[in-house]
């Protein structure tokens, strides 16, 4: 599997991945609580590519996964005690970590998160932080297996979508 920064030419394929994943989640257990036409959407891909923060995982010439790495946290992150005084220019925050539904349960998510950790080390980051909906058990298991430490459970303001509590995780590098 190859991981590279997304390009403008990838927008249609990333947007299709988001739509296909949301369709899949509507008919299966929707662990992340994502909603088609709300999140993630094409505009998320466009802004990630414009910011040069969106990465795509390629397998056999197809985009099978994607992740956005930013230095800005969700507002609710300020409610937590992260146990350190790192500045966000020293931290990658994971957004829109997604695997195409045809490639679930094949290790793509694990490889993509391993890339995130390695890339963060290469970029001299001090930590990787993320949030995960409290009922997203598969993602929580993956993050913990990869050495992310639970920090706190907070309200990120998505209650109107039925997403009241998010677990915050951090991996120091």
d(Cα 122, Cα 158) in Å, to the nearest integer?
33
**Own/partner pairs, 149-155, CB within 8 angstroms, 24+ separation:** 151/80, 151/81, 151/82, 151/83, 152/79, 152/80, 152/81, 154/76, 154/77, 154/79, 154/80, 155/76, 155/79
* Per-residue pLDDT at 59: 95
The residues spanned by each domain of the chain are 2-172
- CATH code given to domain 2-172: 3.40.630.30
Q: Facing residues of 98 across strands?
A: 66
Beta strands at 62-70 and 127-133: parallel, antiparallel or unpaired = unpaired
Q: What is the pLDDT along the chain (173 residues), one digit of tens a residue?
A: 999 999 999 999 999 999 999 999 999 999 999 999 999 999 999 999 999 999 999 999 999 999 999 999 999 999 999 999 999 999 999 999 999 999 999 999 999 999 999 999 999 999 999 999 999 999 999 999 999 999 999 999 999 999 999 999 999 99
Q: How open is the CA angle 91-161-56, to the nearest 5 degrees? A: 40
């Amino acid at each position: 599997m190859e991981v590279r920064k997304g390009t403008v030419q990838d927008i249609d394929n990333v947007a299709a991945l988001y739509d296909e994943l949301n369709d899949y989640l509507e008919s299966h257990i929707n662990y992340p609580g994502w909603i088609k036409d709300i999140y993630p959407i094409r505009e998320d891909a466009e802004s990630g590519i414009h910011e040069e923060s969106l990465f795509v995982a390629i397998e056999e010439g197809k985009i099978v996964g994607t992740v956005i790495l930013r230095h800005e946290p969700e507002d609710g992150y300020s409610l937590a005690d992260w146990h350190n005084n790192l500045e966000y220019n020293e931290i990658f925050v994971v957004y829109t970590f997604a695997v195409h539904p045809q490639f679930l349960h094949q290790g793509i998510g694990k490889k993509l998160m391993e890339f995130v950790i390695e890339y963060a080390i290469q970029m001299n980051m001090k930590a990787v932080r993320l949030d995960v909906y409290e009922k997203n058990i598969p993602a929580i298991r993956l993050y913990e297996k990869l050495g992310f430490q639970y920090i706190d459970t907070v309200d990120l303001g998505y209650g109107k979508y039925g997403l009241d509590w998010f677990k915050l995780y951090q991996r120091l590098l």
